[in-house]
Homo-oligomer: A and B are copies of this chain.
């Protein structure tokens, strides 16, 4: 049993591990990128996660290393693992969350349904893919993209010329005609024990997750089984430890295709803090500390999460928080302790209940107090 969990990255995902860690009796230590980050409430070291000596020193005082993000270089991860430090998820798994080309190739080997894709090295190769796929496609930088960054819809090979010059090979994917986006979360322990959360619907605005509805409304039992099967196959096939989030497209011809992966707690799972017996942050800690996994069943028929984005609001965050609490005593408002810059995720609202319309209304209304 790993009692001290070291989290690399000081963002809100690390912060939200603190509360369940207290109740589980686990100690959280954070290696933050800078002073004053979201997770600074835990014992925090500040340092560069790309520097092996920094990460190695941080690792000396913990029983297991896990992550708030996927950006720790493979060289650092492999050096730690070679020295016998428990790194969960490990470098072999994390490579698939770090490089979308490597991910696509591996999912193809596993036979997991995904959009048509190709690795393209220049404008001519991209144009050839476009010619085969109706003249429009999605180009992605293999590394470093998130929340819509590093993603571009193009209709000509020249439209990615700057990226080819700067980065080299890119991932191109067919523009999937999807009816909605889903997400499937799986928790996996080092020994292979897995637990699946219900498949959820995610709603994006401007490339950023705005709302999550759990479970996905109208999802048939077959759809739920297919999504869970894909999640389990990927968690097993990629050797994931901890939480895995699989972002999915549901197409108008009732197929499910894998869009993206994340090997950590994920925005699509925040609902589970207040809507499932075991929230994703507790579950991630159990998995990486090699503790028995908890029940992932919903606590209520419906749970909805709405993100709170920083905006041009008048008044302080505290005033808006108080207004939201006054108007919606049943809403669970989670704050990240971050300055509210426009478009930045600074918190979220969870609401659970028996009536989906009511739950959606309340969650949106509470979050709207921050607009």
A22 at the B interface (CB under 8 A): yes
From B18, B297, B330, give the contact of A19 (CB < 8 A): B18
The closest CB in chain B to the CB of A346 belongs to: B25
A368 at the B interface (CB under 8 A): no
Interface centre among A23, A325, A330 (most CB of B within 10 A): A23
What's the Cα separation between A22 and B332 when bound, in Å? 13
Q: Is the CB of B329 within 8 A of A23?
A: no
A interface vs B, CB < 8 Å?
1, 3, 15-16, 18-20, 22-25, 27, 41, 195, 273, 277-278, 286, 291-295, 297, 299-300, 318, 321-322, 325-326, 329-330, 332-337, 352
Q: Is the CB of B295 within 8 A of A335?
A: no
What's the Cα separation between A300 and B326 when bound, in Å? 23
Q: Is the CB of A15 within 8 A of B19?
A: no
With A1-B318, A278-B329 known as contacts, the answer to whether A334 contacts B295 (CB < 8 A) is no
Q: Please, which residues of chain B bring their CB within 8 A of the CB of A195?
A: 329
Q: Is the CB of B292 within 8 A of A326?
A: yes
With A278-B329, A322-B291, A329-B295 known as contacts, the answer to whether A41 contacts B19 (CB < 8 A) is no
What's the Cα separation between A314 and B160 when bound, in Å? 65
With A24-B335, A25-B335, A335-B25 known as contacts, the answer to whether A325 contacts B294 (CB < 8 A) is yes
**Shortest Cβ distance from residue A230 to the other chain B in the assembled complex, whole angstroms:** 23
Q: Is the CB of B321 within 8 A of A25?
A: yes
